[in-house]
Structure 1
Amino acid sequence: MQTAFAITNAAAQGVLAAQATSDEMLIESIADGEKGAMHILYARHHVRAYRFILRIVRDASIAEDLVSQVFLDVWRTAGQFEQRSQVSTWILSIARFKALTALRQRRFEDIEQDEVMQIADENDTPEAAFDRSRTSAMLRACMNKLSDAHREVIDLVYYHEKSVEEAGAIIGIPQATVKTRMFYARKALAELLKSQGIDGLAA
């Protein structure tokens, strides 16, 4: 029993230590060739990177391939990270470059996006779950009607919770341009949502 407890306790301490490790510390370890640190960083950020790429390329299989390429680049270039931005911002910058390169190579016009079904709350009634799913579908549809530039900035700020400064760093534009795009993107999205009977987009 003591041995089993010791193993369990050691495992728990390992999990807590991993959670307490900052992204910057992980990058330093990755630069030293530590695969364990790479696994932790991947676990933290691969879903966000996948969703970001998916909104650009609109193809689930391509997004999955590109995520692998993104983290392969992180593994190879961790030693070049200069901590001028958050690690998550750096990863999304790599993801954006990969996604846009894939778009240029494929030269496709508009591939239908494979919608990811959201898991309903167990406490939802069937009617509430249907209504939430319908609203979410309308929002995605309206997002897809925005221009690429407007959809990208909305995605970064609202879905990935990036600041104006971070969004500008990822896209490669001044903060003032980010703010301008945000203003017109929100206005266009509000009008699209209103046409679908959805009001109340926050200012």
Structure 2
Amino acid sequence: MQNVVAINAAARQGILAAQATSDESLLESIAEGGRTAMHILYSRHHVRVYRFILRMVRDATTAEDLASQVFLDVWRTANQFQGRSQVSTWLLSIARFKALTALRQRRHEDLDQEEMLEIPDDADTPEACLDRSSTSAILRACVAKLSPAHREIINLVYYHEKSVEEVGNIIGIPQSTVKTRMFYARRQLADLLKVAGIEGLAA
């Protein structure tokens, strides 16, 4: 009985130690077939990856399926991670590619850009500076009216707290282009908010 207790205690300690491990170390373990490390990485990043995809594809079922595919790719290709960016940035790069591929495949549904902008965004968002009341709803509506390129920048910078360098890595554009898009995205968002009766949030 004492042996069983000791084994269980050791197992719990191993899980706790793994949970405190960096993402990079988890990937190294995953590359060697570590299932516990895969579960931990999934629990850390699944919600973020899912929400990122959902904002692009605007369909919960598709977003969940694509998010699962992202982590399946991680399981298969963890040894290809070269550490040139944060693991979270690498995950969002994979997620973006899959979302864009899904959107291209969806073209036959005749869902044009204007219709996409009118679809409500039901994803919960981490706007710490807002009280999730009418102001939050207005902000989401205004962000939805941005061009796809500008909306993507706002999504990565504000919702996923990515740096200019990380955004460039995810999208595959120079940092100078990221800064330019960010400038115009903020200006356009500020104009939209002003029309909606709110000023200062995008300044």
Output the TM-score relative to the length of structure 2.
0.86
Is 1:53 paired with 2:60? no
SS of match in other structure, 2:102: helix
SS of match in other structure, 1:161: coil
Partner of 2:196: 196
CA distance in 2, matches of 1:14, 1:140: 42
Partner of 1:37: 37
Is 1:115 paired with 2:122? yes
- Higher mean C-alpha displacement, 25-34 vs 3-12: 3-12
Report the Cα offset of residue 34 of structure 1.
1.1
Higher relative contact order (CA 8 A, sep 6+): 1
The answer (yes or no) to whether the contact 2:55–2:121 under 8 Å persists in 1 is no
CA distance in 1, matches of 2:12, 2:202: 42
Report the Cα offset of residue 202 of structure 1.
5.0
SS of match in other structure, 1:132: coil
**Letter matched to residue 36 of structure 1:** T
**Letter matched to residue 182 of structure 2:** M
CA distance in 1, matches of 2:198, 2:30: 46
The answer (yes or no) to whether the contact 2:55–2:123 under 8 Å persists in 1 is no
Report the Cα offset of residue 26 of structure 1.
0.6
The answer (yes or no) to whether the contact 2:15–2:36 under 8 Å persists in 1 is no
Report the Cα offset of residue 8 of structure 1.
7.9
Structure 1 residues 51 and 172 mapped into 2: Cα distance closer, same or farther (>3 Å)? same
SS of match in other structure, 1:199: coil
The answer (yes or no) to whether the contact 1:70–1:95 under 8 Å persists in 2 is yes
The answer (yes or no) to whether the contact 1:49–1:91 under 8 Å persists in 2 is yes
Cα deviations by residue, 1:87-136 (Å, 9 ceiling, x for unpaired): 100000000000000000001324424514679xxxxxxxxx9x732111
Output the TM-score relative to the length of structure 1.
0.86
**Letter matched to residue 115 of structure 1:** D
The answer (yes or no) to whether the contact 1:59–1:114 under 8 Å persists in 2 is no
SS of match in other structure, 1:170: helix
Partner of 2:145: 145
**Letter matched to residue 89 of structure 1:** T
- RMSD of aligned Cα (Å): 2.5
Cα deviations by residue, 1:63-100 (Å, 9 ceiling, x for unpaired): 01100111111111111111111110000000000000
Gaps of 5+ in 1: 120-128
**Letter matched to residue 166 of structure 2:** E
Partner of 1:176: 176
Residue identity (%)? 73
SS of match in other structure, 1:71: helix
CA distance in 2, matches of 1:53, 1:117: 13
The answer (yes or no) to whether the contact 1:53–1:63 under 8 Å persists in 2 is yes
In the TM superposition, what are the counterparts of 1:16-27 in structure 2 within 5 Å?
16-27=16-27
Gaps of 5+ in 2: none
The answer (yes or no) to whether the contact 2:146–2:188 under 8 Å persists in 1 is yes
Structure 1 residues 194 and 6 mapped into 2: Cα distance closer, same or farther (>3 Å)? farther
